Structures are given as structure tokens and as C-alpha cells.
Structure 1
Amino acid sequence: MKKKAITKVLLVITALFTVVSTAYAAVWSSSERYGNWQDNGYIVYNNVWGSGAGYQSIWANSYSNWGVWADHPNTGGIKSYPNVTKDVNARLSQLSSVNSSFNVTVPNGGSYVTAYDIWLGNYAYEIMLWMNHRGEVKPISYNWDAYGNPIPVVTNVNVGGHTWDVYRGTNGSNEVFSFVRSSNTNSGNVDTLSIMNWIKNRGWYGDEVVDRVQLGFEITSSSGGMDFRMNNFSTTVNYR
């Protein structure tokens, strides 16, 4: 028992030393729940918003190179959404293109989603683009099958440069459209305006104002401490 206890303490110390070393090497770091940092028109957020969350720290060298070390318990419910944000503040009809690229490194354990979170209509509509996911995570849906699985409203949709199953639901505050990619990817390019217009063309909303585009890690559990890294990211907005 003593040997196991000592080993566990050493593992914790090693993990904390790694976090501290990374933080000192980075341009900015924070362990505050809502710590944030602005860089070149982007905002990097720690954003530990869920109940029952554990410890999470964030570091950044730039808006496109940052990461978190998160130690959230193996329980249900989203604990955090560390992300990088680009404000848009223009109607869909005023935009000629909104394109994004990304590259991430994610752990082999835990439960999480690497997702874009796009907000429209003064945050009345939320579009989530699931680029990869792992563990006990499910998209929001109005309809569920007998086994507790969400039912998509459309399947095998090819839009924005990727193929998705599309789910529609509400979180109680706003309507949510979840595009779950047919297979996981840790990097790629996304034509986000095409996706927003695809929803508009189905009549699910109108010529809404695009509030912001975010990309981050929606973490449900990462027990023992896990690293999530944004290796590269950009969102380019062109207006008519």
C-alpha cells in the first residue's frame, strides 16, 4: 500500500511539473476557470464551465498554438470547452466566404469531442461540427431510439468539404445543429459558410447574424490528467 501511494504521488508531481514547465515556456498561461487571452483578433479561452469539473490549465504561444492539461473525473456531463474564438458579427448575406483550417493532437483516453461551435442570431442558434470524438459523448437530438442513441435528421450529407450525419435538438437555451463527421480526423479544412447556408436553405433559420466561430475541445472526462493541443488554426472571413 505504501509503495502504491508513493508511486501515485510521484505521478501527480510529474504531471504538475510538466504543466508548470509548459506554462513557463508559453507566452500566456492560466488555471482560472474563465481565463482568456487575446491575440491578433482571436480569443483563447480556458472555459471550465461544467459542474463537477476537476483541474484544468491552459497555455498559449499564439491563437493557433495552445493547449490544455485537464484532469476531469470520469463522470457524465461536459466539464469544459477550452477554445479559440473568432468574432464575425455579420449577416449570412453579407459574407462571401468563411473558411477554417485546423490541426490538433488529442489523447487516447477520456471522453471528449473536438468541435467547432458556431453561433448565430444573437446566440439563438448553435452549430457544432464534430471533427473527432471519443468515449461516452452523444450529440443533442430531439429524437432518440430505444437504446438511448440520438437519431439524425439527415445522414451522409456532403457539405463544407466533409461528410456528416446531422442531428437537430435543443439544450433548453438555444437550438443546436450537430454535424457529426463520418470518421474522425485531427486536421483539415472546413467551408463553414457552406454549412451555415445549407441549414438556412432548409428553412431552419433565416438570414441570421453570424456571432462567432469557435474551435476547441468539449471535455467530459480526462481522469488522471490529459493533454489536448491545438497545433494550428485559422478562420478567414471575407465580406461581400
Structure 2
Amino acid sequence: MRRRSLLSAALAAPLATAGAVGALQSPAHAATWSSSDKWGTWQNGAYTLYNNVWAPSGYGPQSIWANSYSNWGVWANHPNTGGIKSYPNVSYTLGRTVSSMGNVSSNFNVTVPGSGSGLAYNTTYDVWGNGHAHEIMIWTQWTSNVGPIGGYVTNVNLGGRNWNYHQGHNGGNPVYSFMATSQFTSGTVNITPICQWLVNQGRMPNVRIDQIQLGWEITSSSGGRDFRMNSYSLST
């Protein structure tokens, strides 16, 4: 599914591509499923894996591999230019309103590239309401040169974590962004308290929560970088 939101990214001037570009080849070939198609998808039970290179132009090669919805990864070599190129992700459709969604939480563990030139991305949950009418983004980790849509509103403690809340609009739908005050690459995210806070504060209507996605918004990954989902679970 094409992502419609855009990040603000203050990127340095493009650098020459360097480094090996075949880092994913061994796990991809050994995996249960792999694809280099920009819209490659794979169904695993109730979950769908998306390669999802949705940028209309200016993107580089990207390959996805998976053994299951909870064990998969991406190798991406996107140029050091602004604008999100892709959002590879695992997706589950809930289909319940916020008031009746129950206790929805997720556990995950990812391995991501370290900092460096030509690298800009974020690890994020993307939770959609009423189809794609409302977008809740839950950022757990990101590089310093990317940021959310809209301005900072407040700090709030929800589901046992502190978040900086930003609100904005991408031209197609409102975007509600929660940025972890302490970034993390493994742990638990309680999704229900975040959705209920938005409704209780009058910032979002009592929407039906549809797709719950987790992956990486990749703006640039020059030279080829690996992103790996080591484990993932969603409790509904």
C-alpha cells in the first residue's frame, strides 16, 4: 500500500555511493519468500509483508525477504536525496473502533543501520483509521535528520512510555505522531492508550482502526543498508 505522508528531512549534499550492495543476498536466497518488486507482497496467516517502494521516482533498488511475519528484513540502496522512498512493513487489519478495540499491544526487536552519511530513516508503527482517513504514527527510533509532519503539541505518558506528540496534515489526511522521548529498538508498544488519548482529547473521532503496520520509512540508505525484524508480535 502506498504511503502518503512525507517527512521533513534536512539532508547533506549527496555523497558518492560506496560499500557492498549485496549484503542481503544470502538471507534473501535462503528465506521462505523474497522479492525485489517495488510492490512485492506476501501473505503469512493474518499478516501481510509489503516491500512498498512507493516513491514515484528517485528511488534505488530494494529487496525484501521473510521467513514469517515476525522474521524478515530489507536491503535498500536509496540515494542520499530528500523525500521518503519506501515503507517496507508488516501489516495486520484490526477492523474495530477505538472504543471497542480492546487491549492492543505489540512487542518487537529490530536491527537497524548505525548512523552515517547517506542514511535517513525511522522505525515506526503506522496505524490507520477509517481506511486511510486518519494516520497515527508511533516512532520508536530514527536518525537525526528526519522529523514528523506538523508541530510539537505536548509531552504525554501513555502505555508506560513518554512521547512527544506532534500533529499535522500531509495534504491527504491528518497525521498524529508520537515520538519516543527515549528511542528504542526493542520493547513493547501499547497501541490502545495512544488511540484512546487522541479520541478522549477530541483530536481524532472514534474511528475504526484498520491497518496496524510496523516497518521503516526510508529516505536514504546510500551504499546499501540492512534493516531486520528479529521478532514481532501483535496482541489483539
User: What is the TM-score of this pair, normalised by structure 2?
Assistant: 0.88
Deviations 1:89-136 (A, max 9, x none): 111222221111110000013110000000002211100011000042
Structure 1 residue runs of 4 or more that deviate by more than 4 Å after TM superposition: 8-12
Name the counterpart of 1:97: 103
Which structure features the higher share of helix residues? 1
- Could you say what the CA RMSD is over the residues aligned between the two structures, in angstroms? 1.6
2:19–2:224 CA contact under 8 A, matched in 1:
no
| Alignment match, 1:188 | 187
Give the fraction of aligned pairs with identical amino acids, expressed as a percent: 50
- 3-state SS of paired residue (2:24): helix
**How far off its partner does 1:9 sit?**
11
| Aligned pairs, number | 217
Q: How does 1:59-78 map to 2 (within 5 A)?
A: 59-78=65-84
8 Å contact from structure 2 (residues 99, 196) kept in 1: no
Q: Which has the larger radius of gyration?
A: 1
User: Cα deviations across residues 182-214 of structure 1 (Å, max 9, x unaligned)?
Assistant: 021001111101100000000112221001100
CA shift at 1:19, angstroms? 2.5
In structure 1, stretches of 5+ residues that fail to align are: 1-7, 142-150
Query: Displacement, 1:11?
Result: 5.2
Q: What residue in structure 1 maps to residue 6 of structure 2?
A: none
Task: Report matched runs for 1:78-93 at 5 Å.
Answer: 78-93=84-99
SS at match of 1:89: strand
Instruction: Give the distance between the partners of 1:23 and 1:177, measured in 2 at CA.
Output: 34
Amino acid at match of 2:66: A
Cα distance, 1:175–1:10 mapped onto 2, change above 3 Å: closer
Match of 1:34 in 2: 39
Partner of 2:114: 108
- Is the Cα–Cα contact under 8 Å of residues 149 and 167 in structure 2 kept in the other structure? yes
Partners of 1:161 and 1:189 within 8 A in 2: no
Identify the match of residue 50 of structure 2 among 39, 45, 48. Answer: 45
